[in-house]
Structure formats: C-alpha cells, structure tokens
C-alpha cells in the first residue's frame, strides 16, 4: 500500500478522473477483507496498545500521508481524489478516517482532514457525510460508534446540535453500558448533546420513538443541567395516555423543581381533567410536608385573586364611567337653562 501511494504521488497523469477511479477500484478490492472485518475485536478490553495497533492496517496509510502533507501541497489534492473515488466504492472509508483521527491523537482539534475529505466529494455536505458514516458505523460496530461519538459530536457540534435524526441514531444504537459511558462524559463536562436553548423539536419528535429509545433519551437529558423552563412546550403537548414515557420523566423532573408561576400555569391549563401529570405534580407540591408547599399556596392564591381583582377593576371602571356620563348630562341641562 505504501508503494502504491508513493506511485500515485509521483504520477503526473493521476489527476485524470478515469485513472483515479480505476486505481481506487483496485485498492478497494485489495483491502476488501480489511474493510469487512471489525476494527476492534468483540469482548476484549480496549487498551491504548490495541487501538494503536489498528493504525498499522494498510487502510490507514493514505490517511497518514494526508496528515503529513502541508495544506498547500498540490499532491494533497491527488490523494484526496484517490480517497474520494475509494469512498464511492467503499463507504466505510469515512468512519475509518474518523477512527484514525481520534486514535492517532493528531494536533487537529477541528478534524480538518475529515472536513477536507468531505468537501472533495461530489455534492459535498458535511452533516450528511457525518450522519452516513456514523450510521454505517452503528450498523457495523456499535461499540466503536459509542467510542467515537463524544469526539465526533464535540468537534462537529455546529453541524449536529439539535439534529433530531442524529440524536435518534444515538439512542437507537447504544446499550445500557454505552449509555452509562455517555452519561459519565456528560457529567464530567466532556460532552454536551443539548447546547441549544430550544429543545422543542427534539422533545416533540422523541414522543414518536420506541420506549427503549425514549428511556435512553431521558437518561441523557437528565445527565445535563437543563432549566425546567425548556420543557414547558412539552408539558403543554404531552398526553398522559399516549406518551407515558415522557410523562413519567416529566413527573420526576417536576418533583425536583420548586413550583413557579409558569409551571403551575402550564399544568393547570392542561385540558384532561384526569391528567396524571398535572394531578401528580400539583398534589406533590401541595403536601404539607413539602418544603415548597407555602410557595405553591401563594402561587395558587395569586391565580385565584387575579380574576377577582380584574372583576373589581371592571366594576369600578364601569361605575366611574356612569358617574362621568351623569355629570356630563347635568352640565348640559344647566347650560340649556
């Protein structure tokens, strides 16, 4: 493989698309067995040595050359052309590049090599390339998917944040052990899956996911310190009978929260009179031994008094208007005399 890459770099006519395509087809055929097998074995504890040994596979030789080249080197475009042609024939190349960039610990915090690789493809779209590569990896090796995920999501957060489709891919792929690892990364501040303030689209979309996906989703949600106010749209939209997973997690969330005007108003405005979410949360806050019972009582009183105050204000205003009209009529009578 090393000799082939060297030949590509010295060949003047390699920029011809047909020649590049034929060469890529031959390389993919030669490396087919390596692409077909797992990068890391199943059931073996991964060590730094295991990971670094994988980089000795011939698949990674083009990546190593690409890494060593200066951005302005014209030969770099030839190598990107070869990799692009290989990608069209062997789509696993993309996640192998992501694996290489993580394990090799290169000084490339933005993974610019992967960005260049995606940009060199036909109809380049970084987000779509990331999704396809990670989706294929989730099918091939879920454990490796979970291993790469924190770095991939952090580096490409602007492309993947608030991406409902990618988030569902995560919760559909992981198992309890992987979820535990992700929660640890989140709690330690190494990963933030929800950096955007508006979670409305993701929360609403999650209602259609299966129960296991929603279970993992809410575990990841709870690992973040997300203000309860960001769940207000879901409180309005969720149905206790159709969406038991979301409702149960909202109840647990509200149990840890002190009552506020916004939360109480949202719960009181829910339409179903037998609504478990509203009844449970309001009952919990109203219990005498609850530390927030007094606060909850004051909020309820303010809601009750508000309509009365409005009614009194309307009555006073009406009486004032009547008195003003009477005064005007009296003045007219006096002037006519």
Between helices 2-10 and 17-30, what is the axis angle to 10°? 180
Give residue 265's Cα distance to chain centre.
29
Q: pTM score, two decimals? A: 0.84
pLDDT at 330 (0 to 100): 52
Query: 285 with 296: CB under 8 angstroms?
Result: yes
pLDDT at 188 (0 to 100): 95
pLDDT at 265 (0 to 100): 92
Phi/psi zone of residue 296: left (φ > 0), alpha (ψ -120 to 50 degrees), beta? alpha
Taking the CA atoms of 234, 239, 240 and 243 in sequence, report the sign of the dihedral they define.
negative
Taking the CA atoms of 305, 306, 307 and 311 in sequence, report the sign of the dihedral they define.
positive
Distance of alpha carbon 166 from alpha carbon 160, whole angstroms: 7
45 burial via Cβ count (<10 Å: 0-12, 13-18, 19+):
exposed
pLDDT at 1 (0 to 100): 78
pLDDT at 250 (0 to 100): 96
Run of H or E including 108: none
Which 3-state string (H, E, C) describes 116-139? HHHHCCCCCCHHHHHHHHHHHHHH
pLDDT at 332 (0 to 100): 52
pLDDT at 179 (0 to 100): 97
9: CB partners within 8 A, 6+ apart = 65, 75, 78, 79
Distance of alpha carbon 189 from alpha carbon 192, whole angstroms: 7
Note down pLDDT in tens along the chain; length 337 residues.
788 777 777 776 666 777 778 888 888 888 878 787 777 766 667 777 778 888 888 889 889 888 888 888 888 888 888 899 999 999 999 999 999 999 887 766 788 899 999 998 888 999 999 999 999 999 999 999 999 999 999 999 999 998 999 999 999 999 999 999 999 999 999 999 998 878 999 999 999 999 999 999 999 999 999 999 899 999 999 998 999 999 999 999 999 999 999 999 999 988 877 889 999 999 999 998 899 999 999 999 988 887 655 444 444 344 445 444 544 445 455 555 4
């Amino acid at each position: 493989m090393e000799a082939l890459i060297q030949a590509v770099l010295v060949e003047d006519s390699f920029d011809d698309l047909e020649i590049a395509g034929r060469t890529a087809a031959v390389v993919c055929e030669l490396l087919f067995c390596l692409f077909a097998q797992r990068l890391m074995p199943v059931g073996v504890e991964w060590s730094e040595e295991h990971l670094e040994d994988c980089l000795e596979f011939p698949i990674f030789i083009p990546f190593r050359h690409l890494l060593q080249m200066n951005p302005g080197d014209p030969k770099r475009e030839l190598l990107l052309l070869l990799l692009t042609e290989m990608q069209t024939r062997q789509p696993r190349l993309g996640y192998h590049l992501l694996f290489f960039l993580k394990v090799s610990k290169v000084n490339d915090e933005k993974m610019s090599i992967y960005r260049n690789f995606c940009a060199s493809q036909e109809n380049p779209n970084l987000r779509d390339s990331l999704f396809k590569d990670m989706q294929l990896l989730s099918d091939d090796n879920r454990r490796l998917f979970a291993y790469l995920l924190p770095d991939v999501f952090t580096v490409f957060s602007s492309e993947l944040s608030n991406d409902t489709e990618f988030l569902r891919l995560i919760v559909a792929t992981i198992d309890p052990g992987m979820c535990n690892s992700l929660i640890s990364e989140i709690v330690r501040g190494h990963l933030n899956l929800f950096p955007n303030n508006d979670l409305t689209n993701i929360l609403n979309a999650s209602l259609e996911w299966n129960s296991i996906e929603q279970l993992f989703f809410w575990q990841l949600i709870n690992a973040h310190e997300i203000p309860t106010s960001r769940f207000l749209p879901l409180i309005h939209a969720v149905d206790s009978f159709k969406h038991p997973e979301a409702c149960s997690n909202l109840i647990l969330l509200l149990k840890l929260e002190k009552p506020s005007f916004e939360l109480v108003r949202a719960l009181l405005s829910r339409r179903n009179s037998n609504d478990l979410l509203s009844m449970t949360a309001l009952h919990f806050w109203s219990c005498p031994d609850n530390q927030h019972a007094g606060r909850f009582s004051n909020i309820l009183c303010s809601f009750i008094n508000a309509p009365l105050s409005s009614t009194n204000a309307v009555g006073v205003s009406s009486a004032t208007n009547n008195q003003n009209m009477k005064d005007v009529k009296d003045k007219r009578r006096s002037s006519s005399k």
